[in-house]
Structure 1
Amino acid sequence: MTLSDFVRGLIGEPPIPSPSHPPQPHPQTANPYANIAQGSGWTPRRRRSTRRFLPRPLRRAIRFLKSNWLSFPLFVIVCFLLGAAVLPYDSTLRLGVRWNWKRLVTGGRPSEEWVLRERPEYEVDWGRDVGVVLKTGYGTRGRVPAWFESVGGWGEVVVIADYGGEMVLGDGGERVVKVYDMVERGLENPILGGLLGHKRVGKYERLTAAVGAKDEELAGGLSKEFGWELDALKFIPGLEFAYQRWPDKKWYLLVDDDTFLVETSVKRFLGHFDPEEKHYLGNAVGDFRARFAHGGSAVILSQAAMRALVKENPKALKTSYLESLDEVWGDRLLAKALIRVGIYLDERYAYLFNGEPPRRSKIRGDRMCSPILSFHTLPQPEMMRDVGEHFRNVTEPVFWLDLWKIYGVPAPWRWDPEMTKKTIKDPKQREEMSRIVLRDVKSEWECLAEYNRRFRASIGTGWAWGKPEPDVCVIFRSAPPFDSEVDAWTLDWDYVGPVDEAVYTHENVASAQDCMEKCTEKAFKTCIAWTWESSTGRCHVSPWMIVGEEVKEQDKVSGFNIRRVRKLERECPTFDGYESRRD
């Protein structure tokens, strides 16, 4: 039998006869009726089809494909998806199919009406329903007091680290916080009993010995050398400990000691979700094989997700303990553990989580009018305290654009001279608004330098020093500022921030005007901010803007694509309550 005959047999077709050997009739079938007439009782028998041995659903599918050959690609795709669905949750094939399917199907952004809803769908009491796991290390333990000061009177917090002890908070020792050694707790798990000779365990033992000997210099050096490796050993034991300590919490938050959470925004955000459903939320990073929530931007797990990980799937938890000895990043280790129990990161809300400090937070066009949940990269205690001073007492969710108002920096695109004329009736008051008064200016030259520095774009109409008071410099302007793109230039400032692969840099740009035109030209539809360096001639254009602050280099001019920013804000959601935030 040839291959073609076998395939035709599968679909119920007779084999193709050979030209040299035409089919010969069976001697008894040449005239079957003659045999019947002779009373033999023999009747011709239908040819057997090999297809009869296939399952009935498959036979039907073959008949369908035979008559509808265009459906074959669809059939292959369905079989592929069904095959992927029965694979383990952490199978590369299944993860790849899920990743591409989500990108194909998930379009647009979920509604944000929940942000300003008077009453959340699921009520959240911060002290009763939320448990916070604060992760630190021996080398960064100095950040913890500032963290507690910045957040104020939070609810229940457990501090986990790579060492154990107690920490006294406040100048008068008003509060004592216990620090739990989660690395030691993890190594006590029987699953790691035969692996205590692992090199990562040896590093932990070296650090423990230095801490026990009170050798601060050695312990600090070791923590700086490999403390990041020990960090991966804290995640799983820390969350397991938190669940055993608070089995009835609705939400579990895992944060670093240089992460600040905006409580009002997070509380309103959590009120949008049912804690009895499995939720894994955070800032998405990594490839399709393990999309994980960036630990520095905060990780949020619901009660159902924690229960599924810690209580209902001990086998997956044991596997994670074993992997913790070699995994580089603890937040990726956590994601892998959750994937094994069928819990994937919900990436629809990743843009709400932030991995930058407030003044360097990248305000992109797709999130300008969205709430912001967290700040990160606050390694110095004074930085954390400063953020706490600005955000600790806010009573409403904080939006990305609110950063300008909170830090007292004028938002250039919001200044409307016509609106100013309508709201301020007194001409004298309008005239006073068009002046800048600088005190403690010691000479006329300093006053002139300030005039030139602030108004190189020819907004100013004049200056005066020593009138009406000594050491006072008055700079006159023809109109309120920021009524055009040129007016929004700021000297010695940077609205772009650190340059990375998303920032396009033009070389040999002659002036700030040319740089601004690079940002506003049609070729760069996504440009929001630009910065020109007069000393190098470089022009950086970015798809975001930052609040920024005065830079030490005295050669930078920065500005915005004013028309684009105004257009983006006009397109912000118009649900009730948001308009009041635009003033």
Structure 2
Amino acid sequence: MGLVGRHELRSLGTRLSRWQKIALGLFISFFVIYVTSPYDGSLRAFFRFQHSVARDYYQSQRPSDGWLYRKQHYPINPDNDIGVIIKTGYGTKHRMPQALRALSNESFFPDVLVVQDFPVIPEQKHYNLTNDRTVGKGLEIIDILGWNLERGALKGREHLERIYKYRNLRDAVEAEEWVLSEGLGRTIGWELDAMKFLPALEYAWNTMPKKKWYIMIDDDTYVIKSTLSLLLGHLNYGQPHYIGNPVGDYKGRFPHGGSSVIMSGATLRNLFEWHPEIAAESNLESPFAIWGDKLLSTTLMKIAVYLDETYRRFFNGEHPWMTRMWIDRLCLPLMGFHGLGDKESMEQVGEVFKDQPGPVLWSSLAKIYGVSDYQTFIDVPIRPNINYVGRLDEGSTTIENVAKVEDCLDICDRHSTKCLAWAYDPNNKRCDIAPWAILGDLADGRFSGVNGKLGKRLVDRCHAPH
């Protein structure tokens, strides 16, 4: 049998042309190099990124939501099966009462851990989750940087500038020097935030080790329970999962922390129980990190857990009125909102979304906030003093020297599958079109509209929950 096999290989070799042999040799060489390269190396990162780009393009061209409403193989109770980690800092601590009130509304009452960069102060002892079902539910608050230092996870790094800054803030808080504390909190908060991610997750794993899922959010982020339940019920929490709103290039792809980051219990187990040395190395890197969410991502790459971008269209990094409702996600559920730093915004969002029946879709935002539906834009396509495009980026298109507003409307109509909203500035003769629409932003002197025909056609294809 061995002789026959070698004979067949020699025969194949004689049949191949010179260029075919070269191509085969190059393929084999590349394959060997790829499989022997490190998990977090540039080569593997590059091809993972290209694969994500290709898959994202396919999903944008053929959006699908039907799978969400099929039978869930891993159903969860979000109040019991999800551990929520809220990151806050001294400069933003005023957000916490509203964030907890919104989180503990009638729709969501999970186990919560609050991690911060300063010692617990008296007013925080009154923090709890309270809703109509119970008087209150306690939660733990921890100075996560102090905990990390005390346990020796930053041994050898105590002399670094960022550690000194933390200690100055800690000492000011303990001395009740509130003016100095406020100044330090605003100035160094972003630096200390980068050091919270890994110890926060490890502390959560130690204190809430039986959760199927862990979600990390900022103190100005609101998450929607129905979306969490619907998505996570289709994912096996016994397997490593790491999902979020991706940013960055292939060298350091990571989920935007403000949009929320979701990890399965298996992911935390793999890191903190099976590879504690990797976690220890990353803790030592944290005083130099610019972004903690990127450090988390590069840490998980070392244990072959990569950001899964399949579910990127669920995540949102904006507050409701600036949320961009893209063409390719109108039928999908919305994970939540970010940028709710002021008291009124968080309270309003908490009240609006606590009693929503069923999943909150991107396309349902307009109805929830009382904005005109797509049919009204078919009847009256041009609206004055408003902008339905919002923030421009590489996904939008700007056309200069457009004579009048009707011409801008015609341009959007000609891009009937790629233009969901348009805006016209008569002073600059500029027309902006985009594959998304926002609820509407006041813009004196401008004109704008939504492609009602496209929007109506898209939402008519949405599946409904059984």
Alignment of 1:114-153 (within 5 A): 114-117=67-70, 120-151=72-103, 152=105
Q: Which residue identity does 1:130 align to in structure 2?
A: I
Q: Equivalent residue of 2:288, what SS?
A: coil
Determine if the alignment matches structure 1 residue 562 to structure 2 residue 452: yes
Determine if the alignment matches structure 1 residue 156 to structure 2 residue 111: yes
Determine if the alignment matches structure 1 residue 168 to structure 2 residue 61: no
Does the Cα contact within 8 Å between 2:90 and 2:186 map onto a contact in 1?
no
Q: Determine the structure 1 residue equivalent to 2:48.
A: 98
Q: 1:67 aligns with which of 1, 11, 15?
A: 15
Deviations 1:409-440 (A, max 9, x none): 121x2x3xxxxxxxxxxxxxxxxxxxxxxxxx
Does the Cα contact within 8 Å between 1:122 and 1:271 map onto a contact in 2?
yes
Q: Which residue identity does 1:67 align to in structure 2?
A: R
**What is the deviation of 1:325?**
1.2
Q: Equivalent residue of 1:159, what SS?
A: strand
Structure 2: runs of 5+ lacking an equivalent: none
**What is the deviation of 1:116?**
2.9
**What is the deviation of 1:505?**
2.8
Alignment of 1:25-424 (within 5 A): 64-68=12-16, 69=18, 70-103=20-53, 108-109=58-59, 112-117=65-70, 120-151=72-103, 152=105, 154-165=109-120, 166-169=124-127, 177-411=139-373, 413=374, 415=375
The 1:259–1:286 alpha-carbon spacing in structure 2 relative to 1, beyond 3 Å, is same
Q: Which residue identity does 1:322 align to in structure 2?
A: L
Cα distance in 2 for partners of 1:158, 1:318 equals 21
Cα distance in 1 for partners of 2:14, 2:317 equals 56
Does the Cα contact within 8 Å between 1:90 and 1:339 map onto a contact in 2?
yes
Structure 1: runs of 5+ lacking an equivalent: 1-56, 416-480, 579-583
Q: Equivalent residue of 2:214, what SS?
A: strand
Does the Cα contact within 8 Å between 2:75 and 2:233 map onto a contact in 1?
yes
**What is the deviation of 1:60?**
8.6
**What is the deviation of 1:58?**
11
**Which structure features the higher share of helix residues?**
2
Cα distance in 2 for partners of 1:313, 1:256 equals 27
Q: Equivalent residue of 1:244, what SS?
A: helix
The 1:381–1:187 alpha-carbon spacing in structure 2 relative to 1, beyond 3 Å, is same
Does the Cα contact within 8 Å between 2:377 and 2:452 map onto a contact in 1?
no
Deviations 1:442-461 (A, max 9, x none): xxxxxxxxxxxxxxxxxxxx
Cα distance in 1 for partners of 2:293, 2:161 equals 21
Deviations 1:232-258 (A, max 9, x none): 111111000000001111000101111
Which piece of structure 1 moves more, 107-116 or 511-520?
107-116
The 1:324–1:482 alpha-carbon spacing in structure 2 relative to 1, beyond 3 Å, is closer
Which structure exhibits the higher relative contact order, with contacts defined as CA atoms closer than 8 Å and separated by 6 or more residues? 2
**What is the deviation of 1:525?**
5.2
Deviations 1:191-222 (A, max 9, x none): 52212101111111121122222222222222
Q: Determine the structure 2 residue equivalent to 1:548.
A: 440
**TM-score, structure 2 as length reference:** 0.89
Q: Determine the structure 2 residue equivalent to 1:436.
A: none
Does the Cα contact within 8 Å between 1:164 and 1:179 map onto a contact in 2?
no
Q: 2:391 aligns with which of 498, 506, 524?
A: 498
Which piece of structure 1 moves more, 143-152 or 216-225?
216-225
How many correspondences in the alignment? 448
**TM-score, structure 1 as length reference:** 0.72
Q: Determine the structure 1 residue equivalent to 2:413.
A: 520
Q: Equivalent residue of 1:325, what SS?
A: helix
Q: Equivalent residue of 2:371, what SS?
A: coil
Does the Cα contact within 8 Å between 2:419 and 2:436 map onto a contact in 1?
yes
Q: Determine the structure 2 residue equivalent to 1:529.
A: 421
Cα distance in 1 for partners of 2:96, 2:404 equals 46
Does the Cα contact within 8 Å between 1:510 and 1:537 map onto a contact in 2?
yes
**What is the deviation of 1:75?**
3.5
Q: 1:509 aligns with which of 390, 402, 407?
A: 402
**What is the deviation of 1:124?**
0.6
Bigger-Rg structure (1/2): 1
Alignment RMSD: 2.7
